[in-house]
Amino acid sequence: MTTTSAPDSRPPSLWPTLKNIWGFALPYFQSSEKWRARGLLLAVVLLNLGTVYMLVQINEWYRVFYDALQAKDQPVFWQQIGRFGWLALIYIVLAVYKFYLTQILQLRWRVWLTDHYMARWLANKAFYRMELARFTADEHGNPDNPDQRIQEDLNLFTSYTVSLSMGIFNALITLVSFVGILWTLSGSINVPLPGFLGGGEMEIVGYMVWAAVLYCAVGSAIAHWIGRPQVRLNFQQQMLEANFRHHMVRVREYSESIALDGGEQVERRQLDLRFRDVMGNYFSLIRNQKQLTWFSSFFSQAAIIFPMIVAAPRYFSGAIQLGQLMQINSAFGRVQDSLSWLVDNYMALAVWKATTDRLVGFETSLAHQSKTSDGLATTETAGGITAQDLTVGLPGGSTLLAGVDLNVKPGDTVLLHGPSGSGKSSLFRAISGIWPHARGRVSVPADTMFIPQRPYFPDGRLRDALAYPDPAENYTDEALREALDAALLPQLASELDREDAWSQKLSGGERQRLAIARVMLKKPAWVLADEATSALDEQAEATIYQRLVERVKQAHGAIVSIAHRSTLAAHHQQQWALRANEQVAGGPRYRLDVSKAD
């Protein structure tokens, strides 16, 4: 399970959160799509202004309509019914297009952000380095579930940023539009003062406005006090859900191994533990949401009658008519809705804050990976594979190999062996240029292919899996079949267009032969093979290695192999042996001995 520290449960500072949100929002509106993005944003803003303007017109309609009812003025009554129809129609059109363009803005923003972060995640091997960083004590490590952050968190971020920012804007515009109306309609009220304040009365002008401010201020403070744990709980919920989903994906990927080992009960216990964590946190979230719902429901229901109670004395005294009372009630409702926006949206704000925090962690890790300067200098050469003063370490910081010099010339066949954990695969990764825990200078020909211990095959057509990462269209069917035949997979030659999950469909030996078929197809001059035939029988291994050696020699290249089998020595002219050289605090350190094969 991945581990990521959740945000502090203390009340979050507003400024850093707004700064982070601004940092994620600004690049889109400065990108190549900036004019379309700005145009959509402007349209949404104008439509919000239009809907608020229509609400002001409907508020004025309340006064005229209810005064006509009180006066039993039938012509004005029917006239206002017709006017309301037009007002409602215009409001509906504005509301529909406000919703539609808001969704389009959110959708286009998500597309851009997803493309932006996928490009950065896959560039410069950042996806690989971030996985390695999970196992270090680096403060920039532990970026849990980057797939979930790109797929789900970006969707939540764009959705909540657009909806909540427009909600804030709409609340402010509504407040500005209606507070003046409410102030004018409120008039003044005389409030008796207690004796210790000198007695008498104090006139409060615009008292309905002050009542709305006081009502919403108290409500917002209580809502924040009740709901502040939701930031931490929402952050943890997204992380725990992703961990649960990730483990189920692993069970699917390693289904055969788990089935052969009879590990169903172990996996069930692991999944139960993760699901129990998910449900435990979710129940905590629900309990907090229940408390907040109790308060917000009471708050919203009380707001229905609160303005009537406050304005009733002036109505019963004859200072205002029924139409004005209803207009006051409508205006108070709009002002109260604007001022209590925090109460109504606290749960959404908590999710927004948690999602932003997770994206900040992802962005920090990506930025760190892009700024990290490798101590390994890699160059392309045509003369062979060379390394000078090469040091290879582990993610934890310990050093396996130090000061290694090596040279592979055209025509060489080299077998690298050594005890498990001595750094054979890490040395290959350093030569390939992807290992971030290496220092020195490496030169590798451009025409080089690496065969990893666990080759990757995309789901889909067999021809795509064989040609990966090149497009299958680059190769003729005849070339594809010849490669399969050379790798002892003639039975697959007729299934080039079959779609399947080849990593699970094929046996271990077939997967290794399919990886070798790629080499046969692309005909590189230089090959580095890491346990490439460990799942094959000795006869198949001998046949394949004979063909591999012949091909690289014909191309005036070389092959370097990692293997534990002594039978492979017959196919290699040199041997590199990793042997323990000294014991240091982080574990044994190895040296590289070079010798000719017997």
Cis peptide before 469 (omega within 30 of 0): yes
Q: Do the bridges between strand 413-417 and strand 574-584 make them parallel or antiparallel, or are there none, so unpaired?
A: parallel
Residue 317 or 539, more confident: 539
- 547-598 per-position pLDDT tens digit: 999 999 999 999 999 888 888 888 888 888 888 776 555 556 777 777 654 4
Q: In this structure, are residues 120 and 80 in contact, taking their beta carbons and an 8 Å threshold?
A: no
Domain locations in the chain? 14-371, 375-596
The runs of H, that is alpha helices, within 72-153 are 74-122, 126-133, 146-148
- 275-317 per-position pLDDT tens digit: 899 888 888 888 887 887 787 777 777 777 777 777 777 778 7
Q: Which residue do the tokens 């982080």 mark? A: 586
CA distance 179 to 486: 82
Q: Is the pLDDT reported for residue 185 higher than 50?
A: yes
Of the listed ranges 97-106, 217-226, 384-393, 523-532, the one predicted with least confidence: 217-226
Q: In this structure, are residues 545 and 573 in contact, taking their beta carbons and an 8 Å threshold?
A: no
Please name which of 279, 281, 270, 277 lies closest in space to residue 247, comparing C-alpha atoms: 270
Q: In this structure, are residues 37 and 31 in contact, taking their beta carbons and an 8 Å threshold?
A: yes
CA distance 151 to 453: 29
Which CATH architecture does the domain made up of 375-596 adopt?
3-Layer(aba) Sandwich (3.40)
The pLDDT-based confidence of 511 (bands split at 50, 70, 90) is very high
Query: What is the mean pLDDT of the segment spanning 477-489?
Result: 95
pLDDT at 68: 85
Contacts of 281 (CB under 8 A, 6+ apart): 233, 236, 237, 240
Q: In this structure, are residues 352 and 161 in contact, taking their beta carbons and an 8 Å threshold?
A: yes
Q: In this structure, are residues 429 and 563 in contact, taking their beta carbons and an 8 Å threshold?
A: no
pLDDT at 128: 81
pLDDT at 36: 93
Please name which of 569, 457, 567, 559 lies closest in space to residue 514, comparing C-alpha atoms: 457
Q: Do the bridges between strand 438-444 and strand 385-393 make them parallel or antiparallel, or are there none, so unpaired?
A: antiparallel
H or E element in which residue 424 lies = helix 424-432
CB atoms within 10 A of CB 443: 18
- 325-380 per-position pLDDT tens digit: 787 777 777 777 777 777 777 778 878 888 888 888 888 888 777 665 567 888 88
Residue-by-residue DSSP string for 18-81:
HHHHHHHHHHHHTSTTHHHHHHHHHHHHHHHHHHHHHHHHHHHHHHHHHHHHHHT-HHHHHHHH
Contacts of 474 (CB under 8 A, 6+ apart): 467
Same fold, 14-371 and 375-596: no
Please give the structure tokens belonging to residue 343. 């109460």
- Count the alpha carbons within 13 Å of 89 in the hemisphere toward its beta carbon: 6
Q: What mean pLDDT is reported for the chain? A: 82
Highest-confidence range of 163-177, 259-273, 283-297, by mean pLDDT?
163-177
The pLDDT-based confidence of 515 (bands split at 50, 70, 90) is very high
Indicate if the alpha-carbon torsion angle 368, 369, 374, 377 is positive or negative.
Answer: negative
Q: In this structure, are residues 555 and 394 in contact, taking their beta carbons and an 8 Å threshold?
A: no
pLDDT at 70: 80
pLDDT at 7: 46
The runs of H, that is alpha helices, within 146-263 are 146-148, 154-186, 207-227, 230-253, 255-261
CA distance 428 to 426: 5
pLDDT at 3: 43
pTM above 0.85, yes or no: no
Domain covering 14-371 in this structure, CATH number: 1.20.1560.10
H or E element in which residue 591 lies = strand 587-596
